[in-house]
């Protein structure tokens, strides 16, 4: 059995989530959409040891439903490892015997970083929809606060898939002196129209739930039904047609014949309902609204006129990975990034992973990713001067 799939070979070990609050008087986190956010708390985890010369730091950025817990386990009884444990740990692609790996929950999140469910110091109550609209760029600015706190001026690498990949690209463009290597997986330089459409359906499902109460439901019943539907819609985009056919087909769920009702006759229906319900136990509905909105606003070319212009000043070396069956961010969107980088004569490598898992492949295809990522990091580390 590969490490990371239930055993402890290559495990990052027992980890704990740390929190740092930035509340210095006179400072604020200015937001792209206007306004500011302060104080700011960031939840984060680290794996491995920071070198004396601080030249081995790698930051991992999570996707929409992720959090700071990227690797290892929180206790000896923890049955589930971090969301990217397959590539983070001793001997893995992000080798914690060699690298100091950082993972942080984004602002707007609901897993320890400041977000809609956090207490608004102005009112003493949860922000709810009084929380300001945030963007991918704002998430990156908050990550830089953490890096400054840790004393890391320049990252060896920034790595991320999906929304995490967008954060990596944003950092490379907005702060070219802060990172040496970029690994972007299953992502895009701008949120595609189809993804915006799916996100809007999810948001409308949440806001149509009578328990949403304009986002001020804390202390009462949360809009779980709306959030569950939003998750069901989103989850479909993470899978491929081939994967769904192979996993479910038209098989019935614990019945021999159709019930001729609106019960979950099919296995795929039961699966989606389970995914939706499970999601409501760990995620905040308002966070879903805010993060999907941040995704929809993401467009690297907007401030620069074109994608080529956006990449003109970047200094990083890039590894861009796409996945053949990903229809949320199909390979052509990753190739667009590669073409723009090559047009500005940047150092970029591109690899398309053959996979049947769809968008979720970057969370699953360990054997097909780790050699490519590991070699890229090792090669880039030799030319890194922090």
Distance between alpha carbon 321 and the CA centroid of its chain, in Å?
Answer: 15
Is the distance from CB of 370 to CB of 377 less than 8 angstroms?
A: no
Which ranges constitute the DSSP H helices of 80-192?
136-149, 163-174
- Burial pattern 197-226, b for ≥16 Cβ within 10 A else e, equals ebbeebbebbbebeebeebbbbeeebbbbb
Q: Which of 105, 127, 124, 132 is nearest to 116 (CA)?
A: 127
Q: Which tokens hold the place of 177?
A: 């002196």
What is the DSSP secondary structure assignment for residue 345, as one 8-state letter?
A: T
d(C-alpha 41, C-alpha 44), whole Å: 10
Q: Which of 353, 318, 75 is nearest to 189 (CA)?
A: 318
Instruction: Please state the φ and ψ torsions of residue 107, each to the nearest 5 degrees.
Output: -65, 150
d(C-alpha 304, C-alpha 307), whole Å: 7
SS3 at position 258? coil
Close Cβ partners of 122 (under 8 Å, ≥ 6 residues apart):
none
Is the distance from CB of 198 to CB of 237 less than 8 angstroms?
A: yes
What is the DSSP secondary structure assignment for residue 11, as one 8-state letter?
A: -
Close Cβ partners of 34 (under 8 Å, ≥ 6 residues apart):
132
Catalytic residues: 162, 326, 359
Question: 10 Å Cβ neighbour count for 117?
Answer: 19
Q: In Å, what is the CA distance from 174 to each residue of 135, 137, 260, 300?
A: 13, 8, 56, 10
Is the distance from CB of 13 to CB of 97 less than 8 angstroms?
A: no
Q: Which tokens hold the place of 204?
A: 């409308």
d(C-alpha 151, C-alpha 263), whole Å: 55
């Amino acid at each position: 059995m590969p490490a990371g799939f239930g055993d402890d070979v290559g495990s990052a070990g027992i980890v704990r989530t740390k929190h740092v609050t930035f509340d210095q008087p006179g400072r604020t986190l200015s937001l792209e959409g206007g306004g500011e956010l302060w104080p700011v708390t960031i939840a984060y985890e680290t794996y491995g040891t920071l070198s004396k010369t601080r030249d081995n730091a790698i930051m991992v950025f999570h996707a929409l439903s992720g959090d700071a817990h990227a690797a290892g386990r929180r206790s000896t009884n923890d049955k589930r490892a971090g969301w990217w444990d397959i590539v983070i740990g001793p001997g893995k692609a992000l080798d914690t015997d060699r690298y100091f790996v950082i993972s942080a929950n984004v602002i707007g999140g609901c897993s320890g970083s400041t977000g809609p469910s956090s207490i608004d110091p102005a009112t003493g109550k949860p922000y709810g929809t009084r929380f300001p609209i945030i963007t991918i760029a704002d998430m990156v600015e908050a990550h830089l606060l953490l890096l400054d706190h840790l004393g890391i001026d320049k990252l060896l690498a920034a790595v991320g898939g999906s929304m995490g990949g967008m954060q990596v690209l944003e950092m490379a463009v907005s702060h070219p002196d802060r990172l040496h290597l970029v690994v972007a997986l299953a992502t895009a330089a701008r949120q595609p129209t189809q993804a915006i459409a799916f996100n809007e359906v999810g948001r409308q499902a949440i806001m149509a739930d009578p328990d949403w109460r304009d986002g001020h439901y804390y202390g009462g019943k949360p809009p779980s039904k709306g959030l569950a539907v939003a998750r069901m819609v989103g989850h479909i985009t993470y899978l491929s047609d081939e994967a769904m056919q192979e996993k479910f087909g038209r098989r019935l769920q614990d019945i021999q014949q159709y019930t001729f009702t609106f019960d979950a006759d099919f296995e795929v229906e039961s699966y989606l309902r389970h995914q939706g319900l499970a999601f409501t136990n760990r995620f905040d509905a308002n966070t879903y609204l805010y993060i999907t909105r941040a995704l929809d606003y993401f467009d690297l070319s907007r401030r620069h006129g074109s994608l080529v212009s956006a990449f003109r000043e970047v200094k990083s070396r890039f590894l861009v990975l796409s996945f053949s069956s990903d229809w949320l961010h199909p390979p052509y969107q990753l190739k667009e990034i590669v073409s723009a980088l090559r047009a500005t004569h940047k150092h970029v490598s591109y690899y398309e992973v053959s996979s049947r898992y769809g968008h979720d492949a970057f969370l699953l295809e360990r054997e097909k990713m780790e050699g490519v990522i590991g070699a890229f990091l090792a090669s880039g580390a030799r030319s890194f001067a922090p």
